[in-house]
């Protein structure tokens, strides 16, 4: 639920962008440029927080950290709407929102690492990551009617209030750092859960030294490229679909939801396959080859203004993208010492999101600004093929 709300706050800018552009009189090129900047600034703050604020959050503990960041991201979402007339403050609100959300995934990884055995972690991670896909599935259905009827700022305010009213009580009621600290988990069960979570024999060293290890380098490069592709497509999808002939803004409430529904289905399927085969990296490598073929085909169909075919192919491509998402954090948890999971994931997630997420709006933005040409299509396919190669190399070093 916290991931669902957090991603609503993150995605609101994508759904609001057609309305913001119309309000400011931006042409296609200005929409692509300003939209990429607003999206990219979020990921800059998000990445910095992952790297530099995660150690502090880990010391405070996941439960307390989640309480703090829920309050902060709600505040900064409201600030974005309140101060949107001043572009500098609007941009600053996106950086602050990224900073407040940045330690969220490391804390969720720390909880997963403390509560679940290694052979359960693809499914365990996918359970909370599904909040991401539930968010992008339902955000158009929930937010587009509100923004169309009452203005895009109202959508921001609704999220700010809802984030506190929904997320905060759930965290306080259910989230505890360890099985042994949970008041409604018996001592015997807590001991069993702690024993099953176990320890992974990978050696202990400072977190930054992970950057010198080949498996971490491979998965980090894969994560950077994945974010450039996946976050670029996710960020621009509503704007891209709204640019197709015959598509009204109100149509996004269902058109944008269809590809996101496919991603949620894919997440569940790929997570089960990963845990059952214990070859998560290789499974994701195969999935990403499909992403490259399907994504380029989708944008070609969009250039031809074939709406139904574009939506179908985009849906299949994000289905394949979720092959990486389903096992991403399980792979990182596998190569990071258990005591350093939060910091290790923070380092990984910070660099991959800051670099890949920052580049994603520009990688896909070229397609928004004037349609997909050969260079754009080759770039997207090449990036997907590169991820497949990196994951294959990773799988040869780490059998997981």
pTM of the model: 0.77
SS3 content of the chain, % helix, strand, coil (to 5): 85, 0, 15
pLDDT recorded at residue 372: 65
- More confident call, 302 vs 365: 302
Residue 55 has pLDDT above 70, yes or no: yes
CA 183 to centroid of chain Cα atoms: 31
The mean pLDDT value for 236-257 works out to 78
pLDDT recorded at residue 256: 75
Q: What is the DSSP string of 177-232?
A: SSGGG-TTS-HHHHHHHHHHH----S----GGGGGGSHHHHHHHHHHHHHHHHHHH
Percent of the chain with pLDDT over 90: 43
pLDDT recorded at residue 355: 85
Residues whose CB falls within 8 Å of the CB of residue 323, separated by 6 or more in sequence, listed in order: 266, 270, 283, 284, 286, 287, 288, 290, 291
Q: Which domains does the chain have, with CATH numbers?
A: 2-397 (1.20.1250.20)
pLDDT recorded at residue 204: 58
- More confident call, 189 vs 371: 189
The mean pLDDT value for 255-264 works out to 82
Helix (H) or strand (E) run with residue 150 in it = helix 121-150
Q: Using one digit for the tens of pLDDT, what is the confidence trace for 329-358?
A: 999 988 888 778 889 999 998 899 888 876
**233-237, 298-302, 367-371: segment of lowest average pLDDT:** 367-371
pLDDT recorded at residue 182: 93
Torsion from C-alpha of 185, 188, 191, 192, nearest 10 degrees: -100
Residue 273 has pLDDT above 90, yes or no: yes
The mean pLDDT value for 155-184 works out to 92
Name the token pair of 167: 């997320």
pLDDT recorded at residue 86: 84
> To the nearest whole number, what is the mean pLDDT of the chain?
87
256 half-sphere exposure, CB direction, 13 A CA radius: 34
Residue 200 has pLDDT above 50, yes or no: no
- More confident call, 40 vs 288: 288
Nearest Cα neighbor of 163 from 61, 38, 227, 72 is 72
pLDDT recorded at residue 370: 52
Q: Residue 232 in contact with residue 355, Cβ under 8 Å?
A: no
Other beta carbons within 10 angstroms of residue 307's beta carbon come to: 17
364 half-sphere exposure, CB direction, 13 A CA radius: 30
Cα–Cα distance, 193 to 254 (Å, whole number): 41
Q: Residue 364 in contact with residue 239, Cβ under 8 Å?
A: no
């Amino acid at each position: 639920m916290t991931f669902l709300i957090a991603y609503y706050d993150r995605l609101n800018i994508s759904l609001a962008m057609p309305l913001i552009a119309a309000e400011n009189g931006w042409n296609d090129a200005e929409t692509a440029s300003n939209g990429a900047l607003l999206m990219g600034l979020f990921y800059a703050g998000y990445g910095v927080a992952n790297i530099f604020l995660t150690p502090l959050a880990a010391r405070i503990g996941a439960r307390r950290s989640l309480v703090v960041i829920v309050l902060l991201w709600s505040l900064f979402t409201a600030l974005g709407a309140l101060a949107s007339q001043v572009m500098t403050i609007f941009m600053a609100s996106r950086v602050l929102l990224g900073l407040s959300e940045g330690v969220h995934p490391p804390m969720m990884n720390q909880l997963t690492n403390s509560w679940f055995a290694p052979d359960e972690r693809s499914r365990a991670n996918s359970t909370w990551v599904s909040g991401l896909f539930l968010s992008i599935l339902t955000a158009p259905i929930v937010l587009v009617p509100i923004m169309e009827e009452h203005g895009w700022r109202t959508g921001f305010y609704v999220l700010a209030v809802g984030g506190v009213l929904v997320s905060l009580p759930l965290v306080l009621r259910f989230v505890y750092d360890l099985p042994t600290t949970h008041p409604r988990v018996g001592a015997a069960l807590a001991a069993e859960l702690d024993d099953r979570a176990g320890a992974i024999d990978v050696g202990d060293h400072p977190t930054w030294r992970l950057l010198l290890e080949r498996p971490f380098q491979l998965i980090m490069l894969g994560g950077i490229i994945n974010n450039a592709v996946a976050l670029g497509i996710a960020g621009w999808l509503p704007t891209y679909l709204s640019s197709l002939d015959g598509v009204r803004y109100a149509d996004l409430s269902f058109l944008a939801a269809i590809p996101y529904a496919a991603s949620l289905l894919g997440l569940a399927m790929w997570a089960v396959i990963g845990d059952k085969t214990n070859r998560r990296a290789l499974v994701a490598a195969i999935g990403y080859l499909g992403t490259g073929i399907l994504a380029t085909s989708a944008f070609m169909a969009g250039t031809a203004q074939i709406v139904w075919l574009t939506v179908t192919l985009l849906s299949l491509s994000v289905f394949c993208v979720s092959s990486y998402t389903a096992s991403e954090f399980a792979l990182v948890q596998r190569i990071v010492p258990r005591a350093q999971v939060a910091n290790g994931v923070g380092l990984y997630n910070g660099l991959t999101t800051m670099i890949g997420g920052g580049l994603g709006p520009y990688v896909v933005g070229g397609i928004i600004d004037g349609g997909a040409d050969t260079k754009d299509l080759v770039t997207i396919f090449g990036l997907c093929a590169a991820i497949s190669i990196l994951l294959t190399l990773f799988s040869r070093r780490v059998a997981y």
